[in-house]
Chain A
């Protein structure tokens, strides 16, 4: 497979994966967050009782980590291409990296405590409130980061189209 075709595949996968990630996070922000914020401990008790078979982890794993790998691959493959394309791909990679770090923080510091601990959330209302509000703030910043990564990846895609197949 030629270098250009490899770039097409890696960049295409990156755009697909970021769109999947972005709209998944957007869905949660619109459909879940307002319900959780209204009365966090009660709402999450209902939510944890509902998600006995699957939960949001199933949506994001393994595609979101693979998206990061694809973004790294696209940047690596583009090393012989023009500077403008490289800059867009670098921006994609950096925004995706920040989103990954934020996800690690949100999962380990917040989600594990309110979704997967099995603790009685109603008995710790104040702590749950604090965690949920912190998680929402970081979640919105992450949504912006993933959106920015998607935007820059699409701009890189436009650049590939506009420079043609040689890409030099």
Chain B
């Protein structure tokens, strides 16, 4: 059996397709960046915390993780919000539900990020008086736990966004099967 394949092509469909794809790639980038930090950065701050923190600061003299996450993360979040808004009219009902879960996951990750940056990162990585071993260890442990929660939110977002994209892409395919 062979099939001729066409793609339903409308401006609305193409825009939503692009929005979903950008949001998916952006959130995957965010997720794997946070996973990288969870594995490679944070555990090293738990042994000789103050000395390790100083080594981290001395090493990152040119760039730091902000360069990786900005502007990607805000772009991904805003794109997802727009996709969710536009998808209310043109997505199948189950995909709408998944996209809502994805948006809520992303919102949770953004709120956690605001907290982590303002309450932990600014003290742990960016300036302020040098904290002692106990302070650094406490901040690092908080960061590790909250980052795991953030990763969980991002996994929810990426999984549901992926399902939404697959469903939307498949719904736009017109199959004409013949033997």
Closest to B175 in A: A164
Which of B1, B43, B64, B177 is within 8 Å of A31, CB to CB?
A: B64
Contacts A162-B5, A164-B3 given; 7 further ones with Cβ under 8 A?
A23-B36, A26-B29, A46-B59, A47-B59, A53-B44, A161-B173, A164-B177
- Cβ of B78 < 8 Å from any Cβ of A? no
B114-149: contact bitstring with A at CB < 8 Å (1 yes, 0 no)?
Answer: 000000000000000000000000000000000000
Complex partner residue of A59 from B36, B51, B166, B173, CB under 8 angstroms: B36
In the bound complex, do residue B63 and residue A31 qualify as a contact, i.e. CB atoms below 8 Å apart? yes
A51 to B62, CA, bound (A): 19
* A35 lies within 8 A of chain B by Cβ: yes
Residues of B within 8 A of A38 (CB): 61-62
Which residues of chain B are within 8 angstroms of A168 by Cβ–Cβ distance?
Answer: 1-2
Residue total for B at the interface (Cβ-Cβ under 8 A): 37
From A24, which residue of chain B is reached at the shortest CB distance? Answer: B36
B residues adjacent to A (C-beta < 8 A): 1-3, 5, 28-29, 32-33, 35-36, 39-40, 43-44, 46-48, 51-52, 55-56, 58-65, 67-68, 166, 169-170, 173, 175, 177
- Contact present for B68 and A26 (CB under 8 Å): yes
By a CB distance below 8 angstroms, the chain B residues around A47 are: 55, 59
Number of cross-chain contacts by CB at 8 Å: 92
With contact pairs A54-B39, A161-B166 given, residues A30 and B58 touching in the complex (Cβ less than 8 Å): no
Q: What's the dominant secondary structure at chain A's contact region?
A: helix
Q: Which residues of A contact B60 (CB under 8 A)?
A: 31, 35
Q: Are A49 and B28 in contact (CB under 8 A)?
A: no
Q: Are A52 and B63 in contact (CB under 8 A)?
A: no
Whether A30 contacts B67 by the Cβ 8 Å rule is yes
- Tell whether, in the assembled complex, residue B43 and residue A53 are in contact, meaning their CB atoms are under 8 Å apart: yes
| A161 proximity list for chain B (CB < 8 A) | 166, 169-170, 173
| B36 partner residues in chain A, CB cutoff 8 A | 23-24, 27, 56, 59
